[in-house]
Each structure stands twice: as structure tokens, then as C-alpha cells.
Structure 1
Amino acid sequence: MLGTSRGIALILAIIIGLMVAAFLSLMDDATVNLILVAAGLAFSASYIFIFITLEFLVFREIGNIYSLLEKIQKKKHGEIITEKSGSASISPLRKINKVINSYAIAQQKEIDALQKNAEYRREFVADISHELKTPIFATQGYIHTLLDGAIDDKQVRMKFLKRAAKNLDSLDKLVMDLLTLNQIESGDIDFHFSEFRLKALVLEVIDQLEHKATKKGISLKFKFEEGVDYLTYGDEDKIYRVIQNLLFNAINYNNKKVGGEVEVELKAGKSSIQVSVKDNGKGIPAEDIKHIFERFYRVEKSRSKEKGGTGLGLAIVKHILEGHKSKISVSSTVGKGSVFSFSLPLIKEDEAE
């Protein structure tokens, strides 16, 4: 009642009527009837005037604004404040103030998110332009050199064609990695979960990369418990890619010319399998560790092109493991090496049967 135009008009009209009565009572010739009539007229006139003013010029306009803001907020953010527009309030502006504040906070959050996304897009465009530029320009150089006459020299021709093909392979790998990462992040790629033996999968990856490790003078080791097949549940192809990327990086960035080692270890716990990939390379500086799972981030920026990576491998690893409800962790000491590890569920043989 007190928060409505009727209640406020009644209180103010009573006060005005009492003030008129009090003023007339100070006059010597004022009778009681005169005082009562004057107070009644003042009360009635004041009540009607104040009620009409508040109801039609204040409360209804505020109510319309409040309802409009509610609709905008509900349409834009799917929620409104819990207080109903007809509920009583000592201050008629309190509710609208709440809605405006709530809407302003939501809008500011949206602006912050848009600014962050815009910055991310600018960085991404800059990164992808830089990554595409190198193989494209290199390939153009080789082909134009051949077109300018070097194609007649068989030895130069084969050499330049091989280099152009190598750059195009790098470009193809970059595009495929970008597509894969985009599909995973957008949820367009499906995970096909099934039971598989993790030990056999690791042996397959080691067999694939063993020649590359040997060429770099790096020995690959596989540590596991004999008699355990490490049966797990997940997307076998994508876990293969995770281990492949981790081993590829451990081999590629192990700069030891003598005594380089990369070790894969499987540890079976009560309900999970811990997978670790350890190297004794240069290690990763502490300030770089928090960034290594970002797109195109490389610790060795000056020599990254020679390594042959796309800068997307660890970002793909991170998202694949998140799809398996797992996380990749890393510990590293500069000059001693790094350890990347993650876990997968362990399925016991009797449960599988």
C-alpha cells in the first residue's frame, strides 16, 4: 500500500490537510466547522492531484520502462530479476534501478567477451598468416626458379621439386591440424569409444617413430609391468595421435647430440593408467609452460621451422584428452628435460569378460 501511488497520495494529503487545519486554528475567528471543511477540502484536492500526478506521470511510466527492460533482458539473456513488477517498494525507482544494474552488468560481460574474442581472432589471423607464409613463399621460390630456366638442369630440378614437395607436405599437415582442432573445439568431431590395449598402441607408435629417433641419435625406451596389457576405454585413433604427438615433440626438441633419451612409461593404478612421456632434453622455461598448449605457440621460435611441427600438436593433445575427461600435465626443468603425463581408465580383465 505504502509503495503505491494511492498510498503515497493518501499520506501526503493527510499531512497537507493537517497543516491547513493547524494554520487555521491559529486564527481567532476560525470556527471548528470552518477548520474541518477547509482541512477536508485541502485533503481531497491534494489527494486527487497527487494521486493523478504519481499514477499517470510517474508510476505508469516507470512501470512501462521496467516492463520494457524486463523484456529486453529476458530476450537477450534468458533471465530476469526475481522481483515482480507489481511488488511493493518504498522507492518506485528501486526495482528499475535493480534491472538497469543487472542489465548493465550482463552487457559489460558480453562486451568483455566480444573484446576478448576480437583480440583472439586478430592474434589467430596473424598467427595463421605467419604459418602459411613460410611454406607458400618457399614453394613459390623453388617453382619460379625452375620456370626461369633451372628446370633444364636435371640435378637442380629434382632438388627443388623435392624441397617444394616438402613444403607442400608441411602446408597440408598444417591445414589438416587446423581442421582437426577446429572440429574438436566446435564439437563437430565424434569420439568413438571402445576397449583397447594401451601397451600395444604405444608399441605401434614407437615402431613408427623409431627410425626418426635413430637418425637423431635418440634412444626410445618403453617402461611397463610385464604381464599387464593395460586394457583401457577411449577413442583408440585419437589416443594414438596423442601419444604420437607427445613422442614426436620429445624426439624433435631433444637437442642432446649424445645420450638423448625418450622414455614412455605406463603405470597401472587401482582404476586408472598413468601415461608418461619423459625426455632428457633442454627443458621448458617456467614462463613458457602455461602457454605451450596454445595454438602456434613454440618455445624455440627461432628454430621452429626446422623442426617440422605446426605448433598445433599440443593444442590438439589437450582437446582430445578433455574429450576423454582427462588432463595433460607437464613438469620440466631447464637443462634436464620434461615429463608430459595423462591418465586413462583402467579396465580389469575380469570386468571386461
Structure 2
Amino acid sequence: MALNFKKTYKFAVKSALYITLFSTGVVGIISYFTSGLNYLVLLLYFVSIYLFSFFVIQYRVERFIYRRVKKIYDDVSLLDSTTLRSQPITTDMATLTKEVKKFATDKKLEIETLKIREEYRREFLGNVSHELKTPLFTVQGYLSTLLDGAMNDKTIRKKYLERAEKGVERLIYIVKDLDMITKLETGDLNLEYSDFNIVEVVQNVFELLEMRASKKNITLTFDTKYAKPIMVHADQEKIQQVVTNLVVNSIKYGKEGGTTEVSIEDLVKNKVIVRVTDNGEGIQKQHIPRLFERFYRVDKSGARSEGGSGLGLAIVKHIIEGHNERIYVESQHGVGSEFSFTLEKQ
């Protein structure tokens, strides 16, 4: 069985052999032409030179490499004391190169992640600022106008106070959604599971949003008549909020005279999938991966004529994932969108 030497030993063995062969050859040639060739002396000379060369080379290489490798380890360990220094220092340059390369790759990924998070933080703060300042300035404007003398006109006073009230309601709506999504992200979901009829939940949402849909002449409908209840096991209140947010979203971006259709289908033996489909303006492909981010706006103009907190889809995602279920989105710009999620079937 072949001996498995360290790479530094292999280097010393070969180097010592080359030196020994060369020096022995030189000595042998000189001896041959001077005092005659003594093979025993030449053999002893060969062994002596070989051992001497091997140990000198091995010692020098070990010290030469060790000092520099240790310095590299010490320098790198200043950045991450748990990555390299937990392992014994090696003089194997291949191992060292592999570890340092891995360290550099990990740090590069960490830096890229931090850059993405920083960009997300800046965008999030900008979006929060935008969402809050619009109703705040609206309320401030109406109240300032009233204080400047418009209060004496009963008609203007009532109209401006009603508009200021709507601005305050919008602020409350945003703050409530922010509070909810903070709880969802910290795992404070507190799901209360029960068995309920998902068809009935969707029907309740339709009745709740019927007037809102009628303003744009949008029809809320099932894909078919569900004569029998479809029982699922989940938190009924949270799932109703999911359906509400998705239907509200379809109304908000739906076209005049369009439809919002809900279908409930068996997915696998113990799962159903609920689909909310509209024939509205649809979403461009580049926006789809970011739809569930807080305050992410497909329309960069920031128009908020339809209201809302900008947190609806983010809340939907957290609630569904809190149930250990999946949510999907398919959309074609100019054609419409379909949001769907799975639930455990009872």
C-alpha cells in the first residue's frame, strides 16, 4: 500500500533526492579520476547527504510556510474568529487556499446580502414615508383651511371635516396593517384552527365588497355553483382576511365592467386550492417576484386613488405561510391576474 505523505514531505523527499543524486554523482566522478571509486564510501555519502538534505529542507519549508500561513490565519481571523481559527493551522497550501477561498466567497455573499437589505430598507422607508405623508398633508390642508376662516361656512366646514376624517381613517388603516405585519413577521400569528366552509367565507367576502365592486361595475362571482360545502381546516378569520385582501386587490386593479371570479378545486387528496382571477390590467413580468413586499408599488408614480395601505399582499403571504401553505401568482399584462393559495382539506 502506497504511503500517503504530506505534500511538504513529498517536496522534501524529491528535493533531497535531486540534491543527493547530483552531489553523489559529482563526488563519484571526482573519486573515480583521483583515488579510485569506493562504492561503500559512496553509499554512506549518498545516505548521509540524503538524510541531511531531507531534514534541512523539511525543517526550512515547514518554518517558512508555517510563519506565513500563521500570519494569513491571524489576519483573516480578525475578520471572522469562528471560521478559520477553530481549525488547526495547516501547512498544506491546497487546504489553505480552499479555506481562504471559501471564506472570501462567504464574505462576498454576506456583503451582497447586506447591500440588498440596505436597498430594501431605503426603499421601505421611502414607501412608508410616502404612504403616511399623503393622508397627513391632506388632513393638515383641510384643517388649516378651516382655521383660516372657512369654518364659518357650514357647507365647506362639513365637507372639509368629512375629508379630513377620511384622511385620519386612512392613517389608522395603515398603522393597523403595519402593526399586524410586524406581528406576523415576528411569528406572533396566534392561529386558531377550526373546520369551516370555505365557500361560505368567500360568499361573505362577496357580500361585504359588493358595493365597492359595483362602483366599477365589476361582477363578483364563483366559477360554478357550489351546492355542497367544502370544509377546510385553518384559522377562519385569517383566511377570510386573505380572501378579502385578494378580492379587494382584484377590484382595485380591475377594469370597468370586468369580473372577479373565485374557484375552489381539489389539488391533492388532502388539499384544496382557492383561485381569485380577474380580467383587469394585469402585472408585468418583472414586477411579479416583488409583489408580496411591503409597500411595493407596480405603479412607480405612487398614485393611490384606490386607497389601501399597500400591505395587503404582504399580509396575505404571511398568513398563508403561517398555515404552512403556498401562495401563487400568475399574470399577463393587459389580460388579467390570478392569485391562488392552498388549504388543508377537512
TM-score grouping bracket, smaller chain normalisation: 0.7 to 0.9
Cα distance change, pair 60–94 in 1 and its aligned pair in 2 (3 A): same
Matched-pair contact (CA < 8 Å) for 2:17–2:50:
yes
- 1:160-185 C-alpha deviation (Å, 9 max, x unpaired): 22211211211221222223233323
* 1:243-254 equivalent positions in 2, closer than 5 A: 243-254=243-254
**Does structure 1 residue 266 correspond to structure 2 residue 269?**
no
Per mean C-alpha deviation after superposition, the further-off stretch among 278-287 and 96-105 is: 278-287
Distance 1:290 1:19, change over 3 A: closer
**Which residue is 2:294 aligned to?**
295
Write the distance in 1 (CA, Å) between the matches of 2:286 and 2:72: 51
Gaps of 5+ in 1: 348-353
Normalised TM-score (structure 1): 0.79
1:314 counterpart residue number: 313
**Paired letter, 2:82:** K
What is the alpha-carbon distance in structure 2 between the residues aligned to residue 131 and residue 235 of structure 1?
A: 30
After TM superposition, the structure 1 stretch with the greater mean CA deviation from structure 2, 246-255 or 125-134, is 246-255
Whether 1:24 aligns to 2:27 is yes
CA spacing shift, 1:51–1:280, aligned 2, 3 Å: closer
Partner of 1:62: 69
TM-superposed deviation, 1:303: 7.8
Q: Which moved more, 1:235-244 or 1:262-271?
A: 262-271
Match of residue 218 from structure 2: 218
Q: Deviations over 1:11-53 (max 9, x none)?
A: 5344433322211222222453765676566445534432331
Secondary structure (helix, strand or coil) at the match of 1:139 reads helix
Alignment RMSD: 3.5
CA distance in 1, matches of 2:11, 2:220: 85
Partner-residue secondary structure (3-state), 1:307: coil
- Work out the CA distance in 2 between the residues paired with 1:343 and 1:274: 4
Residue in structure 2 matched with residue 341 of structure 1 by the alignment: 340
* Residue of structure 2 equivalent to 1:53: 60
Letter in structure 2 aligned against 1:29: T
Q: Taking structure 1 as reference, are residues 246 and 6 closer, same or farther at Cα in structure 2, changes over 3 Å only?
A: closer
In the alignment, what sits opposite 1:351? none
CA drift of 1:307 comes to: 0.6
Question: Contact 1:321/1:327 (CA < 8 Å) preserved in 2?
Answer: yes
In structure 2, relative to structure 1, the CA distance for the partners of 1:293 and 1:249 (3 Å cut) is same
* Aligned residue pair count: 337
Counterparts of 1:139-218 in structure 2 under 5 Å?
139-218=139-218
Q: Which amino acid aligns with 2:27?
A: L
Which residue identity lines up with residue 107 of structure 2 in the other structure? Q
- Matched with 1:97 is 97
Give the partner amino acid of 1:137.
F
Structure 2: gaps (5+ residues): none
Distance 1:231 1:24, change over 3 A: same
**2:86 & 2:203 partners in 1: Cα distance?**
53
Distance 1:78 1:186 in 2: 34
1:163-208 Cα deviation digits (max 9, x unpaired): 1121121122122222323332343333332222212222222222
Question: 1:285-320 CA distances to partner (integer Å, 9 max, x unpaired)?
Answer: 455445433333344555842111222212222332
Residues 78 and 292 (structure 1 numbering): CA distance in 2 closer, same or farther, change over 3 Å? farther
